[in-house]
Structure 1
Amino acid sequence: MSEWHLLLIEDSDEDVEAVVRGLRRPGLNLIFHHCATGDQALDFLYRRGPYAAQWPAPRPALILLDLNLPGTDGRALLAVIKDDQELQSIPVVVLTTSNNPKDIATCYRYGANSYQIKPVDYGRFKQALQTMLDYWLQTATLPQT
C-alpha cells in the first residue's frame, strides 16, 4: 500500500477535523501534516525551527492550502512555493471559502494547481474532497517525493 503525505495548511481546527475526516478511507495510507499559519508552513517546507530534526522527511505529495491565514497568508505562501525550484512541483490545491474572482485569478496566476471552494454542507464537502483526492492520488501522475 502506498503512503501519501499531505500537508494541510489551515488555521481553523474545525476545518482541519472536517478535511481529515472527509479524506480518510480504508486502503489509502494518508499521513497528514498540519500547519496553522503560513509561517509555520514555511518552516515545515524548509525544515527549519521545530521541523529541522525531521530531515530528511518525505516532501508532501499534495498541499491543501487555505487563503486567509495569520501571518504569511495563503496567497503569499503560494507565491513562495511556486517560485522555489525545490517546491514548485508539489501540487497545491487552494481549499477556501472565498469565491472572490480576484482571489481565484490571483491564485492561478501564482501557480495554484486547483482552486476549490469549500461547500457549507458537510456531505457535499466530503464528496468534493473525495473527488479531489481521487484525481490527485489515483488519476494524476505525481513527481517522486
Structure 2
Amino acid sequence: MNKRSHQQPILIVEDNPVDLDLTLRAFKSQKLDNPILTARDGEEALDFIEKWEKGEPRPVVILLDLKMPKVNGLEVLKELKTHPRLKTIPIVVLTTSSESTDVRDAYQLGANSYIVKPVDFEKFLDVAKQIELYWRVLNKVDE
C-alpha cells in the first residue's frame, strides 16, 4: 500500500446525517487510518478548495452525494474537475439517485465512479470495502 495515501484524507460530502453516519461506521469497521473530512453540503465542500490551495493535504478520494442543499453535487463536481490543480482528485459519486440523467451528467463532468447507495448496512460495508480496495490499494496515484 502507498504510505502517502494513508496520510491523505478522504472527504465525504453528504447532507443526510443518517447516510453520513452509515458511511463513517462502514469506514471505521474497515479500520481505515486515513483522516476523514466531512462537508454537509456543497458549499462546505467548495470551502475546502481554498484550504487545499494553501497547502493542506488534498484528499486521496472524494465521496460526493448529488442531492444537497445550497450547492448540488453536480456543481461541486464541475468546480473540482475544472480546477487546474484539483481536477486529478478521484471523485466517487455516492448517491441515492439512479436517474440516468444524473449518471450521464456526473460522468460528463468527470466523475471517476458512480455508486448508488445501498440501504442495508451490510451491503454498505461491501461498498466501503470496494472503495478502500480500489482507491487505496489498486489505483495508482500521481504523487
- Say whether residues 1:35 and 2:39 are aligned partners: yes
Match for 1:4: what amino acid?
A: Q
Q: Distance in 2 between matches of 1:12 and 1:143?
A: 32
Deviation at 1:46, TM superposition (A): 1.9
SS at match of 1:29: coil
Q: Distance in 2 between matches of 1:63 and 1:105?
A: 19
SS at match of 1:46: helix
Aligned residues: 138
Match for 1:14: what amino acid?
A: V
Deviation at 1:84, TM superposition (A): 0.7
Q: How does 1:55-94 map to 2 (within 5 A)?
A: 55-94=54-93
Question: What do you get for the CA RMSD once the two structures are aligned?
Answer: 1.6
Aligned residues of 2:92 and 2:111 also touching (Cα < 8 A): yes
Which runs of 5 or more residues in structure 2 are unaligned?
A: none
Deviation at 1:18, TM superposition (A): 0.8
- What's 2:136 paired with? 137
Deviation at 1:132, TM superposition (A): 1.5
TM-score, normalising length from structure 2? 0.90
- Say whether residues 1:105 and 2:104 are aligned partners: yes
- What's 1:6 paired with? 10
Match for 2:17: what amino acid?
A: D
Identity %: 33
Match for 1:11: what amino acid?
A: D
Equivalent of residue 21 in structure 1, options 11, 18, 25 = 25
Match for 2:11: what amino acid?
A: L
Aligned residues of 2:8 and 2:57 also touching (Cα < 8 A): no
Deviation string for 1:41-93 (max 9, x for gaps)?
A: 1111222xxx99xx432011110000011111001110111011111000000
Aligned residues of 2:14 and 2:38 also touching (Cα < 8 A): yes
Superposed structure 1 runs of 4+ greater than 4 Å apart: none
Which runs of 5 or more residues in structure 1 are unaligned?
A: none
Q: Distance in 2 between matches of 1:142 and 1:18?
A: 27
TM-score, normalising length from structure 1? 0.89
SS at match of 2:34: strand
Aligned residues of 1:4 and 1:29 also touching (Cα < 8 A): no
- What's 2:120 paired with? 121
